[in-house]
Amino acid sequence: MTDRALAVVRAGALTTVQDRGRPGHAHLGVPRSGALDRPAAELVNRLTGNQPGAAVLETTLDGCALRPRSDVTVAVAGAPCRVTVDGRPAAWGAPVRVPGGALLDVGPAVAGVRSYVGVSGGIAVEPVLGSRSTDLLSGLGPVPLTDGTVLPLGRPTGVHARVDVAPQPAPPAELVLRVTLGPREDWFTPEAVRTLVSRAYRVSPASNRIGLRMDGPALERGRPGELPSEGMVLGAVQVPPDGRPVVFLADHPTTGGYPVIAVVRPADLPAAAQAMPGTPVRFVAVRRR
Q: Which DSSP string do the residues of 42-84 spell out, in sequence order?
A: HHHHHHTT--TT--EEE--SS-EEEEESS-EEEEEEES-EEEE
Q: Is the pLDDT of residue 196 over 50?
A: yes
From residue 3, give the alpha-carbon distance in Å to each of 71, 72, 75, 151, 154. 9, 11, 20, 11, 11
For residues 157 and 146, what is the distance between their CA atoms, to the nearest angstrom? 28
Full 3-state SS string of 171-199:
CCCCEEEEEEECCCHHHECHHHHHHHHHC
Residue 264: band (very low, low, confident or very high) from pLDDT cuts 50, 70, 90: very high
| Predicted confidence (pLDDT) per residue in 6-59, tens digit | 999 999 999 999 999 999 999 889 999 999 999 999 999 999 999 999 999 999
For residue 183, whether the previous peptide bond is cis, meaning omega lies within 30 degrees of 0, is yes
**Residue 29: other Cβ atoms inside 10 A:** 11
Ordered DSSP codes for 241-276: TT---EEE-TT--SEESS-EEEEE-GGGHHHHHTPP
Domains by residue range for the chain, with CATH: 5-152 (no CATH), 175-285 (2.40.100.10)
Greatest extent of the chain over all pairs of C-alpha atoms, in Å: 66
Characterize the bridge pairing of strands 104-109 and 81-85: antiparallel
| Predicted confidence (pLDDT) per residue in 85-117, tens digit | 999 999 999 999 999 999 999 999 999 999 999
**Residue 6: other Cβ atoms inside 10 A:** 27
Q: What is the DSSP letter of 210?
A: S
164/110: higher pLDDT: 110
Q: What residues contact 27, with CB distance under 8 A and at least 6 apart? A: none
pLDDT at 1: 41
Task: Give the sheet arrangement for strand 96-98, strand by strand.
Answer: 16-18, 56-58, 115-119, 72-78, 96-98
Characterize the bridge pairing of strands 175-181 and 280-285: parallel
Residue 168: band (very low, low, confident or very high) from pLDDT cuts 50, 70, 90: confident
What is the pTM (predicted TM-score) of this model?
0.95
